[in-house]
Amino acid sequence: MDMRKLVGRNFARLRREKDLTQEQIEERSGISQQYLSGLERGQRNPTVITLYELAQALGVDHIELVRPSDEDAKG
Amino acid sequence: MDMRKLVGRNFARLRREKDLTQEQIEERSGISQQYLSGLERGQRNPTVITLYELAQALGVDHIELVRPSDEDAKG
DNA sequence: TTAGTTTATCAACTATAATATGTATTTAAG
DNA sequence: CTTAAATACATATTATAGTTGATAAACTAA
């Protein structure tokens, strides 16, 4: 189970659904665009505080880290 | 919102509900008893990978980080 | 009390999360 | 094609996550 990829994929998806750029997330959260780029590519292992700050920047109030189904895990 | 305290309180509660010691969690997860002590006292900011390893050691497959109610936040 | 178990504290250390800066690459639009 | 915006890449630095070892403190039971 690659938590980096799980978090990265979900963050990227949510950011795009809300039509926000990495720069806009940086403005809202103070987390650098370069870091966000690495995060979305599954190269980062954020702390729970960083995860919470990202959720706030996305306007999300409920973070779930669920063991993905076998089907999901394949990709 | 103090994520350290939120995670620490919930981890300690779940661990006790399952009658596990910090040492037993160390055996299962490889995360040191000293670290777990600090975590439960709200002094640690774990990464998502550490959080996932802790969840596995507890036998939990669903992690939720929810913005607590005002009432909960008081304590 | 004693002994055993569990948790907390301390210090030194290693690994890596996160920042800062600059730049290169990609992508979309004219 | 050009241009601008968005994203990816590289490097160096700082802050802190997490380990290790030893030990102190707290708690329970005999």
Reply yes or no on whether the pLDDT at A72 is more than 80.
Answer: no
B12-64 pLDDT, tens digit per residue, is 999 999 999 999 999 999 999 999 999 999 999 999 999 999 999 999 988 88
Distance from CA of A2 to the nearest CA of B (A): 8
- Are B11 and A13 in contact, with CB atoms under 8 Å apart? no
Q: Torsion angle of alpha carbons A29, A48, B3, A63, nearest 10°? A: 80
Partners of residue A47 on adjacent β-strands: B47
Q: Domain spanning A3-60 has what CATH number?
A: 1.10.260.40
Residue-level pLDDT at A14: 94
Fold entry, domain B3-66: 434 Repressor (Amino-terminal Domain) (1.10.260)
Interface confidence, given as ipTM, is 0.86
Q: For residues A44 and A38, what is the distance between their CA atoms, to the nearest angstrom?
A: 6
pLDDT tens for A59-68 read 988 888 766 5
Residue of chain A whose Cα is closest to the Cα of B65: A63
Q: Are A7 and B55 in contact (CB < 8 Å)?
A: no
Residues A27 and B10: their CA atoms lie apart, in Å, by 31
Identify the closest residue of chain B to A64 by CA–CA distance.
B64
